[in-house]
Structure 1
Amino acid sequence: MSDSTCDEPLERGQGPADERVNAEGGFSAVAPDLAGRLGELLDDLQKAANLQPGQLVVVGASSSEVVGRRIGTATSREVGEVLVDTVLEWARALGVEVAFQCCEHLNRSLVVERSTAVARSLEEVFAIPVPGAGGAVASVAYFRMNNACLVAEVRADAGIDIGDTLIGMHLKRVAVPVRGRHQTLGAAHVTMAKTRPPLVGGVRAVYDVAEAKRRIAGSLPD
C-alpha cells in the first residue's frame, strides 16, 4: 500500500508534477524569518508550559509543509537543518530534552539522545532516519545529536507540531492547547501543547498550593 505522508527525496518524484518543488527554491522563499519565527513559538511554548530542566518536548515537523507543499512531496534538507538547530539551541539553553518524531514509514518512532532513552527506560527500535523514511527533520536530528537512537514512543511534557504531523500520540495523557503568537511557520500550520497531571479527587480536593496551606493551617490547634 502506497502513501505520501512522509517527506520523500525529490528525485523519487513523489506526487503530481504541480506539487513538486525544488527544495532550494522552496527554502529560499521561507528562509529569512524561519529560525526567528520558530524561536518565538518555542518561547511562547515555554512561557505557557514553564518547562523545567530534564522535562521532555516532542517535535514533529514536515519540511514539505513549511515550503508550501503537501506533506511528503517536497523534502527540504535545508529547512530540516534550520528547524533542528533552532530547537536544539533552545532546548539546551533551558536544559530540556527533545524527541523528534519520524514519519509514518518508521511508525512515528522518535529520535532522542541515548542518555534520554536510558534514563527514561524507553523501548529502543532500530532504523536510521533518511528523507524517504523518517523525514528531513528526523534525519538531520539523528546526526546533530551527540549519541542518537530511535525509540518507539515517549510521553512528553509538551510539544510542537509543524505541518500537522500528529504528535498527540507522544504527549502525556492530559494535553492542553497552547496558542503562540504565530499560527504558521513558513506555509505550515503550527499546533502546540503543554500537559498537566490528571486531577484526582472530588469536591473536597484542593489543587492550589496557597489554599492547601490555608486549610492545613486552619486545621491545626492554636
Structure 2
Amino acid sequence: MRAEFWSPVQLSLEVASVSIIFVVITGLLFGRLMANKKFRGKAVLETFFLLPLVLPPTVVGFLLIVIFGRNSPFGRFIEWLFNQPVMFTWWAAVIASTVVAFPLMYQSAKTGFESIDQDIENAARVDGAGGIKLFMLVSVPLAIQSIIAGGILSFARALGEFGATLMFAGNIPGRTQTAPTAIYLAIDSGNMHIAWILVACMIGISFIMLLTVHVIRS
C-alpha cells in the first residue's frame, strides 16, 4: 500500500516541479510582452493562450496527441531525435501539465506587470537599464507578488492535471501514473482505501497552496 500511495504522489510532485519551470519562464515572457500593449489581433492571441482553461481535458489531450503523435511531423522528429516517441512517457505528463497550467501563470504575470507604475520603468530606462536588466531588476521585483501567486496556482493546477495526462501520457504505474490517475484507477478497481488516502493528500496539498496564495494577496 505504501508504494501504491507514495509512487504516484512522488511522480505528481516531480512532474509538477519540472512543468512549473517551463510555465514560469513562458508565462513571464509572454506576460511581459502582452502587458500594456495594444495591437491588432491581441484579443485573439490572448484567447488562444487562455484556451486550456476552458477546453475539456480530453480536447487538450487529443490536440497533444495530434501535435506530438507518431503520425505528425513534429512527433516523428522527436522520435528520430530521442529514438522513442514522446507519448506514454514521463515527459508527456510534463507537457500536458505545462499546457494546462500555463494560462494561470500568464494571466497572473500579465496582471502583475500591468500594475507597475510606468514612470518607474521609464526612470530606470533613463538611468541606463537595458531590456533584460530592466526586466530582471525592476519589472519582476515590482510584480513579484502576482508572479509568486501565479506560480503557486500553476503548480497546483499541474499537480492536479488528469484528463490530458491520461490520454497523452497514459496510466503506467511507476512511469506516468500520477496521483489523479492513481485515484481514478483505485476507484475503478474498488480500492477505496488507497483512493481516500490519495484524495486526502491532494486536498491537503491544494488547501495549503490556496491558503498561501490568499495570504500573499491579502
**Looking at both structures, which has the greater relative contact order when contacts are Cα pairs under 8 Å and sequence separation is at least 6?**
2
Output the TM-score relative to the length of structure 2: 0.23
TM-score for the superposition, normalised by structure 1: 0.23
Q: Which has the higher strand share?
A: 1
